[in-house]
Amino acid sequence: MVQITFIDSRGTARTVEGEAGSTVMETAIKNGVPEIEAECGGACACSTCHVYIEEAWREKVGEPSPMEEDMLDFAYNVQPNSRLSCQIKVREDLDGLIVRTPDRQA
Amino acid sequence: MSEPIKTDVVIVGAGPIGLFAVFELGLLDMKCHLIDILDKIGGQCAELYPEKPIYDIPGIPFTSAQGLVDALLQQIKPFNPLYHLNEMVETVEKIGDPLFRVTTDQGKVFEAKIVVIAAGGGSFQPKRPPIPGIEAYEGKSVHYAVRKMESFRDKRVLVVGGGDSALDWTLNLAPIASHLTLLHRRSEFRAAPDSVNKMMALVGDGKIDLVVGQVTALSGGDGQISKAMVKTNDGSAFEIACDALLPFFGLTMKLGPVANWGFELKNNELIPVDSAAFETSIPGIFAIGDINWYPGKLKLILSGFHEAALMAQKAYRYVYPEKRLVFQYTTSSTSLQKKLGVAPERPAAPARAAT
Ligand SMILES: Cc1cc2nc3c(=O)[nH]c(=O)nc-3n(C[C@H](O)[C@H](O)[C@H](O)COP(=O)(O)OP(=O)(O)OC[C@H]3O[C@@H](n4cnc5c(N)ncnc54)[C@H](O)[C@@H]3O)c2cc1C
Ligand code: FES
């Protein structure tokens, strides 16, 4: 199991367990983490699973693919550390990952 | 009001389920017109995930969403359905028993014996970017679509986005606006490379401005925008003065006019139907695919296909009240095969192995 911490826009942190092979978005939805909508169910087609990757984790998580970048155009307040959480696979080496959720999804 | 188009069936929505309905209705000799607000055929499959794989269409282990739409188009071709794209169905009124008047936002009027609502998750409409207070300017100085280019003459126009709509309108409005700024959050564009090159040429000639950044707030008064606050990726902030803002943030599905057609909606978004014929509370109006609800409903393409087949059986009784419906297979019925344009002149004798 991989621990992932979601910090919401008001600063409340929730740490939940993710399963390797699933996605960060699925982990959030399964555990009822707020501020992630994921309207399209993870198809990289809606951009309502937008998160900010905590600085220390950016390198390990990696950069978005060109398709994800295109979808990020539809998100609000995109930052250099923005990612779509449905496009991040949970891996053992991401144990302890911290992401922040935006106050609104597009 | 224009002269009504008379037909057997009007189908609201040209998603996969509306398309397959043409097939099932066509086999039973009912002629269809399809209306969709999108500029393309295929609903969610074509608009949201054309390149993504689908694995659960019976008998087709794998296809892409666009591949499925293309195959459906081929399958229904023998029935020559008529498409009315870029049009939103606004009203559906009962004017006979059953006979319906259907009108679109483009002023088209249809008279149909049957209406099939295959409206999916609702009509696709432009996404409102979550810029605080943007609602106050909508319709007056913030526009999600361009209806009349002339209304932007000699105005300072700010276009936001990096896709085809943003680039197309940048190119079209550049000669009309007094000043045009294209704002995008990064320096890569999703739009067609040709449009990007043309846009870059205009920037090079000093005809338009290209700014990399994102809108954070708007100011103005009485619905009239005067400037947009913009933040760049390195955190610096500045203002862009403008008279009109055109944000292009893609499309989202909103229920839309379906809400006003007299149905008691389930959860404010789904049309209840019976699960024998998928007919609504108004006899002669059917609802199939993602838009309907009945106990056990699954929002799957295969379920919608099933609904289309059963719907057509009941629809036949309204369109041809005097005729008796005979159940037939496409495999063996020459009359169905004739409709499909596949009937052999003379059934070929099965090949026999010599003994
Ligand atoms: C990312 C993603 C992946 C999916 N994967 C699968 C899968 O693997 N298998 C599966 O079975 N399903 C899948 N689905 C669901 C599937 O796409 C839907 O069940 C299907 O598209 C429903 O078809 P439909 O024809 O009922 O509606 P839609 O495809 O939603 O089409 C409805 C059309 O009606 C139009 N419309 C609505 N109201 C009006 C109006 N008033 N006037 C004019 N036009 C109107 C809309 O613009 C739209 O084009 C997926 C969906 C998504 C988003
Ligand atoms: S869930 Fe839709 S893009 Fe991630």
Quote the mean pLDDT of chain A.
Answer: 94
Under DSSP, the state recorded for A25 is: H
The ipTM value here is 0.80
The pLDDT tens digits of the residues spanning B104-124 come to 999 999 999 999 999 998 988
* pLDDT at residue A76, as a whole number: 83
Residue span of the structural domain in which A46 resides: 2-100
Q: What is the pTM of this model?
A: 0.84
Query: What's the mean pLDDT in B190-219?
Result: 96
Same domain, B175 and B269: no
B16 CA to centre of ligand 1 in angstroms:
7
Quote the mean pLDDT of chain B.
Answer: 93
Same domain, B79 and B156: no
**B56 is a domain residue:** yes
For chain A, report the end-to-end CA distance as a whole number of angstroms.
Answer: 31
Closest approach atom of ligand 2 to CA A42: 1
Query: What's the mean pLDDT in B10-31?
Result: 98
Cβ B169 under 6 angstroms from ligand 1 = no
* pLDDT at residue B125, as a whole number: 85
Identify the band that residue B1 occupies on the pLDDT scale cut at 50, 70 and 90.
low
What proportion of chain A, given as a percentage, has pLDDT over 70?
A: 100
Same domain, B168 and B215: yes
Residue span of the structural domain in which B146 resides: 128-249
Same domain, B101 and B147: no
Instruction: Give the residue from B219, B249, B279 where a domain finishes.
Output: B249
B248 CA to centre of ligand 2 in angstroms:
19
**A105 is a domain residue:** no
Closest approach atom of ligand 2 to CA A85: 4
* pLDDT at residue A77, as a whole number: 85
Q: What is the 3-state secondary structure (H, E, C) of chain B?
A: CCCCEEEEEEEECCCHHHHHHHHHHHHCCCCEEEEECCCCCCHHHHHCCCCCEECCECCECCEEHHHHHHHHHHHHHHHCCEEEECCCEEEEEEEECCEEEEEECCCCEEEEEEEEECCCCCEEEECCCCCCCHHHHECCCECCCCCCHHHHCCCEEEEECCCHHHHHHHHHHCCCCCEEEEEECCCCCCCCHHHHHHHHHHHHCCCCEEEECEEEEEEEECCEEEEEEEECCCCCEEEEECCEEEECCCEEEECHHHHHCCCCCECCCEEECCCCCCECCCCCEEECHHHEECCCCCCCHHHHHHHHHHHHHHHHHHHCCCCCCCCCCCCCCHHHHHHHCCCCCCCCCCCCCCC
The B residues from 75 to 134 touching A (CB cutoff 8 Å) are 127, 129-131
Count of beta carbons in the 10 Å neighbourhood of residue B304: 25
Total count of domains within chain A: 1
Total count of domains within chain B: 2
Same domain, B168 and B197: yes
Identify the band that residue B331 occupies on the pLDDT scale cut at 50, 70 and 90.
very high
* pLDDT at residue B353, as a whole number: 58
Instruction: Give the residue from B230, B249, B268 where a domain finishes.
Output: B249
Same domain, B193 and B136: yes
Ligand 2 binding site (Cβ under 6 Å of any ligand atom)? A 25, 38-40, 42-49, 71, 84, 86
The pLDDT tens digits of the residues spanning B302-318 come to 999 999 999 999 999 99
**B102 is a domain residue:** yes
CATH number for the domain spanning B31: value is 3.50.50.60
Same domain, B119 and B137: no
The structure tokens listed for B30 are 């009912």
Nearest Cβ partner for A73 among B52, B190, B216 = B190
Suggest the residue from A48, A71, A73, A104 to mutate for an interface test with chain B (most B CBs closer than 10 A).
A73
The pLDDT tens digits of the residues spanning A8-52 come to 999 999 999 999 999 999 999 999 999 999 988 888 888 999 999
Residue among A25, A50, A69, A83 to mutate when testing ligand 2 (max atoms within 8 A of CB): A25
* pLDDT at residue B252, as a whole number: 83
Q: Are A69 and B186 a contacting pair at CB < 8 A?
A: yes
CATH number for the domain spanning A91: value is 3.10.20.30
Check whether B49 has a pLDDT greater than 90.
no
* Angle of helix B65-76 versus helix B16-27 axis, rounded to 10: 20
* pLDDT at residue B350, as a whole number: 61
* pLDDT at residue B351, as a whole number: 60
Check whether B19 has a pLDDT greater than 60.
yes
What proportion of chain B, given as a percentage, has pLDDT over 90?
A: 85
* pLDDT at residue B56, as a whole number: 97
Instruction: Give the residue from B249, B266, B281 where a domain finishes.
Output: B249
